[in-house]
Structure 1
Amino acid sequence: MSTELIYADATKLAELIRTRELSPVEVVQAHLDRIAAVDPKVNAIVTLADDALRNAKEAEAAVQRGETLGPLHGVPFTAKDSIDTAQVLTQRGSPIFKGRTPDTDATAVKRLKAAGAILLAKTNLPEFSYGIESDNLLSGRTNNPWNLEMTPGGSSGGESAAIAAGMSPLGLGTDLAISVRGPAAHTGIVSLKATHGRVPMTGIWPREPRRFWHVGPMARSVRDLQLAFSQLSGPDGLDGFSSSAVPFDAGIGGDRKRALRVGWLVEPGYGPIDRETASTVEAAAEALKAFGHSVESVRIPALERDFGFDVFSRLHVLEMKPGVQQITAGHDESEIGTMARFMLSLPDTPAADYIDAVQGAERLKDGYADYFSKYDVLLTPVLPTPSFKHGQSELSINGTATSVMGIMNVTSHLNVTGLPGVALRFGTSSQGMPIGVQIVGGWQAESTILHVASQLEKISPVRELRPVL
């Protein structure tokens, strides 16, 4: 097994396949071998796609015939197990759905396949995609490849761990409040939560309520995010939230010579932030000055008026409980995990609080709109702290005990407002764990934030680090 091959990004693999320096069969087999070698320790993979090698052979034959190849031809990818995959188990992290095999692919899966990519496997998640750890009654707990005693996060933690460990070059995750960006930061990879509606949620569960749900790419390089997003974005005629109001500029950054106005923010507005994380954000901000950008510390008053995670919680509890009640009704308690029990135990949000939360979400949108009328980019933490040990209910941040649920304090703002954000590693904690930064843009400004992320990636002090397994 070539280390260089399993840690190559999807863009490089596609190039080597196109030029016949590698065959799709070699690439798929190398990743299958890597899964066999390291997944017993990590437990990121829940199901292998039985036809992956057959599809790789067909892809190789297409290369030999000189056919027109898609931009991801022959490149393997993985998908979170809440995303439907035709004739491949999609069990949603729950015994309730054990053995469930969809007949059709989710739109996001169809689009990657149409670009030539080959489904390799499905990855682990918390029950129903609800949770900040990827652990469930059906397939167990996923470990962080950087330290197996630590969490890779949730809910796309199996996906992030698989990519970080070299088991997959590219993946699909979903994001409700944290779930592609948090796991990416925990494991040192990159991910994109695009503007709400840019990528259809068709074939992805739970489908309702969809006001905060996103699906997005997770990868090893920013250029892979760009390439995947260029294939994923756009309406499918089935998801009413999907929109193509502003076409995605497939060339990262559009006018790459223009200096950008960048603000960076750690506190206030996002709750307590670990000092190492805060220092990493400040270092990334300082680094952007080398590219000619105008960079300064900022405050956003709306974030100090309405706390994003509080707004999210008051809205979503009332909206998601009926669905969880319907799913679990009539099932034995042994089939229902801790997270579902917790959600069912939560009190309903009183109507007055719900209405205030709706208005709070609007105030947050207005606050960010005002900010982005003056700045092009906002640089923030992804998480308030680096990864932590499995099963923790509390975290100590700068000596103060705080609920572990607070790790969604920064990321949930973008779900409430629908703003796009990229997660990118830019530091390392004193315990050797990745620390990420979040690059946020105005609505539908994915091109801008991918451009800035690519600049930070070039000068990242930790770009070449890999976990040892």
Structure 2
Amino acid sequence: MNAAVIYADATELAALIRTRQISPVEVMKAHLDRIEAVDPKVNAIVTLAGGAMEAAAKAEAAVLAGEPLGPLHGVPFTAKDSIDTAGVATQRGSPIFKGRMPGTDATSVARLKGAGAILLAKTNLPEFSYWIESDNLLSGRTNNPWNLERTPGGSSGGESAAIAAGMSPLGLGTDLAISLRGPAAQTGITSLKAKHGRVPMTGIWPRAPRRFWHVGPMARSVRDLALAYSILAGPDGMDAFATSTVLYDAGVGPSLDRPLRVGWLVEPGFGPIDPKVAAIVQAAAEALMSAGCAVEPVRIPALEQDLALDVFNRLHVMEMQPAFAEATAGRRDDELYMMAKTMLALPDTSMKDYVDAEQAAERLRDGFADYFQRYDALLTPVQPIPAQKHGVSAFVIHGQTVDATYLQGSTVPLNVTGLPGLTIRFGTSGDGMPIGVQLVSSWQAESTLLHLASLLEAASPVRDLHPNL
């Protein structure tokens, strides 16, 4: 195993390629060899992209010829299998879409390719991208590379597992309620869910409910998130939520003439949190304070008045079910897995409950707007527990029994409100599983998240950076 290559981040690989210290062919072969060696245990890879080695050879020729190079020239990347890739199967975790071959790339894929990156593979997900575990009838279950008996999360669990295991340096995932941030925390990598609409969702399914879906980068370093975000963000003329022609960012960074103001919150507002996870959040808060930030514990009354997970459930089911019904029409029962059956069987939300939930969502947005008048960022847990065992449907956390959907309690408020959020590892459980924290900024301030994450990255107490596979 060439650890220096497979665990280098995308930024380093791009620099090494640009300066001819390593060739794109060597980089691609190292990752393909890693996939062959460890993916039979992890099952993160659904489809290898044909022509990856040929593309790497062309990238190498461009370097040797002195041609202009993009910021990710010759660097492999992977994409969740709900994201369209031209000429490479995109099967959405379901036998219904087996062999489906898109004719065009999703905007996010096209933008990474335009920056010189090379598609390496597609990664596993739950059926239709709808669950907190990455398991389906078509490509099976993905395992967490830190402990194969644990889940890497969902719905971007295949992507997070591939990056954590050294099979990919950079990837694309999607997020409806937890799906970029939860898997990143469970596997010890980092991810960014930018403000809703920053990165177009064109070429990604499902889109319903469109106002909650996001697409974003997953990586092993904060600088990779920043680089990928700079490439991915901006309107494409097709996604009406991505309309800003100027990437306005009112974030604040190291040049600010006052300390960054950061509140940290564990309980209340998200419900019970495992004491070890709570301790990691407090440790991250103390690290930010040591780095010069003004940090204090906070409460956000809006989160206590309206449980964001309940608001989300009342809103998204009514909007999601028609898309699921259309996709599954006329299909045999044995072609549908757990989540499609569950979602289609859920009762309709009454119009009164739907309107009440809409008003609750507005209260949550107002509550966060009020909070960000006084603070630059918020620090929270990502999940209430570290990565759980496969198939567990209920948990006892801090003496309270909750069902599995509750794992989204700290992340779903950002989907309901459209706020940006970043996940970064900052600790380890007693049994060796990664624990991450979530940074949240106001709607126009992704640079604040990236700056604070870089401070945590520099101060991280984590020493076991890579799983032993």
TM-score, with normalisation over the residues of structure 1?
A: 0.98
Are residue 127 (structure 1) and residue 127 (structure 2) matched? yes
Q: In the TM superposition, what whole-angstrom CA distance separates every residue of 1:310-339 from its partner, at most 9, and x where no partner exists?
A: 000000011101111111110011111110
Q: CA deviation at 1:244?
A: 2.6
Q: d(CA) in 1 for partners of 2:395 and 2:320?
A: 26
Are residue 155 (structure 1) and residue 155 (structure 2) matched? yes
| RMSD value, Cα | 1.4
Deviation larger for 274-283 or 256-265 = 256-265
Contact 1:79 1:159 in 2 (8 A): yes
Structure 1 pair 208–261 and aligned structure 2 pair: CA distance change class (3 A): same
Q: CA deviation at 1:258?
A: 4.4
The amino acid across from 2:12 in the alignment is K
Q: d(CA) in 1 for partners of 2:256 and 2:193?
A: 22
Q: CA deviation at 1:257?
A: 6.4
Contact 2:251 2:446 in 1 (8 A): no
Q: d(CA) in 2 for partners of 1:407 and 1:287?
A: 25
1:136 match: secondary structure = coil
Q: CA deviation at 1:271?
A: 1.0
Structure 1 counterpart of 2:304? 304
Structure 2 counterpart of 1:173? 173
Instruction: Give runs of aligned pairs for residues 346-365 of structure 1, distance below 5 A.
Output: 346-365=346-365
Q: d(CA) in 1 for partners of 2:246 and 2:441?
A: 14
Q: In the TM superposition, what whole-angstrom CA distance separates every residue of 1:103-139 from its partner, at most 9, and x where no partner exists?
A: 0000000000000000000000000000000000000
Q: In the TM superposition, what whole-angstrom CA distance separates every residue of 1:369-400 from its partner, at most 9, and x where no partner exists?
A: 00001000100000111111000011121232
Structure 1 counterpart of 2:424? 424
Instruction: Give runs of aligned pairs for residues 20-419 of structure 1, distance below 5 A.
Output: 20-244=20-244, 247=247, 253=253, 255=255, 258-419=258-419
Structure 2 counterpart of 1:435? 435
Q: d(CA) in 2 for partners of 1:199 and 1:307?
A: 27
Structure 1 pair 9–264 and aligned structure 2 pair: CA distance change class (3 A): same
Structure 1 pair 308–251 and aligned structure 2 pair: CA distance change class (3 A): closer
Contact 1:253 1:449 in 2 (8 A): no
Q: In the TM superposition, what whole-angstrom CA distance separates every residue of 1:414-454 from its partner, at most 9, and x where no partner exists?
A: 00000000000001111111110000000021001110001
1:450 match: secondary structure = helix
1:140 match: secondary structure = coil
Deviation larger for 83-92 or 390-399 = 390-399
Contact 2:49 2:119 in 1 (8 A): yes
Contact 1:233 1:248 in 2 (8 A): no
Q: In the TM superposition, what whole-angstrom CA distance separates every residue of 1:155-201 from its partner, at most 9, and x where no partner exists?
A: 00000000000000000000000000000000000000000000000
1:212 match: secondary structure = coil
Q: d(CA) in 2 for partners of 1:217 and 1:4?
A: 22
Deviation larger for 248-257 or 176-185 = 248-257
The amino acid across from 2:209 in the alignment is P
Contact 2:74 2:116 in 1 (8 A): yes
Contact 2:441 2:449 in 1 (8 A): yes
Q: d(CA) in 2 for partners of 1:403 and 1:319?
A: 23
Contact 2:249 2:445 in 1 (8 A): no
Contact 2:237 2:243 in 1 (8 A): no
Contact 2:251 2:448 in 1 (8 A): no
Size of the aligned set, in residue pairs, is: 469
Q: d(CA) in 2 for partners of 1:331 and 1:306?
A: 38
Contact 1:213 1:415 in 2 (8 A): yes
Question: Is there any run of 5+ residues in structure 1 with no aligned partner, and where?
Answer: none
The amino acid across from 1:308 in the alignment is A
The amino acid across from 2:241 in the alignment is F
Structure 1 pair 251–30 and aligned structure 2 pair: CA distance change class (3 A): farther
Contact 1:226 1:252 in 2 (8 A): no
Contact 2:251 2:445 in 1 (8 A): no
The amino acid across from 1:376 in the alignment is D
Contact 1:227 1:250 in 2 (8 A): no
2:456 match: secondary structure = helix
Contact 1:7 1:169 in 2 (8 A): yes
Q: d(CA) in 1 for partners of 2:240 and 2:90?
A: 23
Q: d(CA) in 1 for partners of 2:123 and 2:465?
A: 23
Q: d(CA) in 2 for partners of 1:155 and 1:168?
A: 17
Deviation larger for 25-34 or 459-468 = 459-468
Q: d(CA) in 2 for partners of 1:113 and 1:287?
A: 37
The amino acid across from 1:466 in the alignment is H
Contact 1:457 1:463 in 2 (8 A): no
Q: CA deviation at 1:16?
A: 0.2
Q: In the TM superposition, what whole-angstrom CA distance separates every residue of 1:215-245 from its partner, at most 9, and x where no partner exists?
A: 0000000000000000000000000001336
1:284 match: secondary structure = helix
Are residue 11 (structure 1) and residue 24 (structure 2) matched? no
Deviation larger for 169-178 or 324-333 = 324-333
Structure 2 counterpart of 1:458? 458
The amino acid across from 2:467 in the alignment is P
The amino acid across from 1:279 in the alignment is A
Q: d(CA) in 2 for partners of 1:252 and 1:128?
A: 37
2:354 match: secondary structure = helix
2:380 match: secondary structure = strand
Q: d(CA) in 2 for partners of 1:146 and 1:249?
A: 36
Deviation larger for 99-108 or 243-252 = 243-252
Question: Is there any run of 5+ residues in structure 2 with no aligned partner, and where?
Answer: none
1:89 match: secondary structure = coil
Q: In the TM superposition, what whole-angstrom CA distance separates every residue of 1:253-273 from its partner, at most 9, and x where no partner exists?
A: 363664200000001001111
Contact 2:188 2:435 in 1 (8 A): yes
Structure 1 pair 249–25 and aligned structure 2 pair: CA distance change class (3 A): farther
